Amino acid sequence: MSANRRGVYRYEEQKHIFNPRSIAIYGMSPTAGSPGQRAIGQLKAYSGKILLVNPKYDKIGESPCYSSIAALPETPDCVLFAVPREAIEKAVLECADRGVKSVVVFAAGYAETGKPDRIAAQERLAAIGRESGMKIIGPNCMGFANFSTMAVVSFTQTSVKGGMAHPSGIGIVSQSGALGFGMVQASENGVVISHAIATGNSCDVNIADNIAYLAEDPTCNAIACIFEGMSDPSMLLEAADIAWKANKPLVVAKLGTGEKGAAAAMSHTGSLAGSNAAYRAAFERAGIVVIEGMSGLMEMCSFLSKAGRPKSRGIGIIASSGGGGIATADMAEACGIDLPQPAGRTLEVLQAHVPEYGSTKNPCDVTTTINAKPEILTHAVEAMLSDEQYGALIYPQVTVSNRTSERRKYLGELAKKHGKPFCLPFVGGWVGGPGTAEVERDRNLAWFFNLDNCFRAITAWHWREDKLIAEESNGPRKLQRLSSPDARDKAAKLIAASENKTLTEREAKAVLAAYGVPVVGETLVRSSAEAATTAQALGFPVAIKVESADLPHKTEAGVIRLNLKTTDEVKAAYEAVMANADSITPKPRINGVLVQPMVPSGTEIMVGARIDPSFGPLVVTGLGGILVELLKDTAVELAPVTLHEAKAMLNRLKGKAALSGFRGAEPVDLDRLAEIIVRLAELADDQKDNIAELDVNPLICAGRSVVGGIIAVDALIVRK
């Protein structure tokens, strides 16, 4: 974010850009296929004033052409440049001098080249904008389109449909112009689109500003965002908060999700909580719906823009194909969607109208008899929509025909009557067949390419509702610190006192203890005899570990032995771990061997943290031990976290059953475990300038009946 920026540009600061009363084309040319001709071709339906600028011509076609921006009879709201990069800076200065409010720079060859002189040229454009207050879109961008006014300020040759079938549609924002304007072609399938904005290099106005604008634009009802990354993603979170408060669903397709470099991380946490995990955690905290890949982005946005809030979590399935109903039910089960069975009056109606060779269960098979007797479908739909246990209905379209268009009329009317969405996934081979556009344009029906996209949308719908309910129940997010007031300073001194890049286990556990995290004690010894004497004093069984800042992963190095029950076992183990340590190349620095009491068995949990360069401290938790990276069953949040958020992290784990008394084991004290997660998140937040990674693996979690039933037996801290 520029030093002169104190947040995103809001609607009032940008409305002259995206809703201009007049547009000037700088560098207009009569040459067919030129950028200017392509741009004016997209403005054929624009009702505002168009001004042409080019000193070579007095007139182009029937329109006057002016020699410069200064020569224009009025100051345009927006100027688009149809000139090469070499002429851009002079043109931008002309616009700034005239008091133009916004410009669009199509020209490429700036910072995206990586060349220092081109980066400097882009920075000069940004400086002109800052000093003049003129907003700049681009450079290296494809422009924008406002389909409510048909202000299509772009050189794109993408076929787009203008005019809006109803008051509001989907706003598309994308850092990739080709992808963003490519999504506009969803209008061919009936999707109503309010805007398409391609940001390009974003030397000034960026993708977060675009989201903030659309969040407050009355013609936009949901926002589809194709996002690659930005230097200050906190701006995106600020824009997402504006969208959330405006009740505008924001769906982000995050591109570039690879985790190059994760393998170089020192800790499990570093490899599990890479940049993609950071983005997902930040997005979900902000109420952003994250979609994997591009598939289903427009369908998701369209559904969320229409659906309203769920009246119930149950989903009803009606099918004219038994197989289609079964496939839909399978998908619902895989997504954890509840399919309540019809009962009472609903069941009576279904039994009265559905043929006996059909099914009155959920899914309800109305059979192909509905082709001859459409009233069967009407009665079944009416009965299930009337039932309070169903929040939405799904009707898989296995085959498509002209009847699809006919049915959508009364299906849409019934959905509107009951205020519940009616989903029609087209699961056959002709997904763009008759009725597709009509279904999509109906505000009460939702069209999908396939079942996967349908259920992803319903899952996101429920997720947003859970977040809304939690916000309504708990009020604004409130952090309540659990650690002692002096923990920050005490831990900082301990970290600074270490001579090692990676703290030893004893040093790391001392830092944890400062935050009230329970840790197992130990004694450092330097001979097998001393180890045996210490073990006898502690009481068997014991564990021994080589202490070395150069061996952060003790198991892999073979320098740890557990459950030693006699002095002879301790002596033998001491010699073995020291021999293994001595065989490592390069030779590690060894302080000695730690002797620790064995902790009673229990469920192993990993809790860690890393400092993300964009989002700051992240906390991650999952089932612990040596398989944590293999299983990758983890939950990640931005630190610090509340107790409620810590419990939610545990609930998101696929292996959460292991915490609740699996196969007769005693349940873990989840309240206590959540408290420890909160304390470790506070540590990460407090020490974000001092540490890079933190790993507590494992936390041994005994049952609730065990006093002090959760304890850290190993810890790793990597200094910044």
Tens-place pLDDT, residues 517-526: 999 999 999 9
pLDDT, position 80: 96
Cα 372 to Cα 484: distance, rounded to the nearest angstrom: 74
Cβ-contact 318, 380 below 8 angstroms: yes
Summarize the confidence of residues 32-49 as an average pLDDT.
92
CATH number of 521-597: 3.30.1490.20
Residue 266, φ and ψ in degrees, nearest 5: -75, -35
Tens-place pLDDT, residues 256-285: 765 554 444 444 444 444 478 888 899 999
Tens-place pLDDT, residues 327-355: 999 999 999 999 999 999 999 999 999 99
422 burial via Cβ count (<10 Å: 0-12, 13-18, 19+)? buried
Summarize the confidence of residues 619-643 as an average pLDDT.
83
Cα 180 to Cα 227: distance, rounded to the nearest angstrom: 10
Q: Domain 603-719 class?
A: alpha beta
Q: Among all chains, which residue has been given the structure tokens 């006996």?
A: 356
In sequence order, what are the beta bridge partners of 617?
611
Residue 282's contacts (CB-CB under 8 Å, 6 or more residues apart) are 233, 237, 615, 638
Residue 494, φ and ψ in degrees, nearest 5: -65, -40
pLDDT, position 268: 40
Residue ranges of domains in the chain = 11-302, 308-474, 521-597, 603-719
Residue 656 carries which side chain, given as an amino acid letter? K
Residue 37, φ and ψ in degrees, nearest 5: -65, -40
Q: 3-state class of 502 per DSSP?
A: strand
Identical fold, 11-302 and 308-474: yes
pLDDT, position 3: 42
pLDDT, position 128: 97
Q: Which fold has domain 308-474?
A: Rossmann fold (3.40.50)
Tens-place pLDDT, residues 464-491: 999 999 888 877 788 899 999 999 999 9
pLDDT for residue 2 is more than 60? no
Which of the four pLDDT bands, split at 50, 70 and 90, describes residue 708?
low
Average pLDDT of the chain, as a whole number: 91
pLDDT, position 275: 73
pLDDT, position 293: 82
Which of the four pLDDT bands, split at 50, 70 and 90, describes residue 5?
low
Summarize the confidence of residues 140-162 as an average pLDDT.
84
pLDDT for residue 55 is more than 90? yes
Summarize the confidence of residues 569-590 as an average pLDDT.
95
Share of the chain above pLDDT 70, in %: 93
Summarize the confidence of residues 301-321 as an average pLDDT.
95
Cα 279 to Cα 288: distance, rounded to the nearest angstrom: 10
Q: Which is the CATH superfamily of the domain at 11-302?
A: NAD(P)-binding Rossmann-like Domain (3.40.50.720)
Share of the chain above pLDDT 90, in %: 76
Cβ-contact 217, 148 below 8 angstroms: no
Which of the four pLDDT bands, split at 50, 70 and 90, describes residue 706?
low
Q: At what angle do helices 11-18 and 207-216 cross, to 10 degrees?
A: 100
194, 276, 244, 645: CA torsion to nearest 10: 160
Summarize the confidence of residues 211-226 as an average pLDDT.
96
pLDDT, position 628: 65
Residue 488's contacts (CB-CB under 8 Å, 6 or more residues apart) are 686, 687
Summarize the confidence of residues 190-195 as an average pLDDT.
91
pLDDT, position 626: 62
∠ CA(400), CA(401), CA(402), 5° rounding? Answer: 140
pLDDT, position 290: 94
Tens-place pLDDT, residues 400-432: 887 878 888 899 999 999 999 999 998 888 887
- Measure Cα distances from 622 to 360, 631, 694 in Å: 42, 9, 14
Residue 84, φ and ψ in degrees, nearest 5: -70, 170
Q: Quote the tokens at residue 336.
A: 């954890």
Of 78-82, 204-208, 274-278, 375-379, give the lowest mean pLDDT range: 274-278
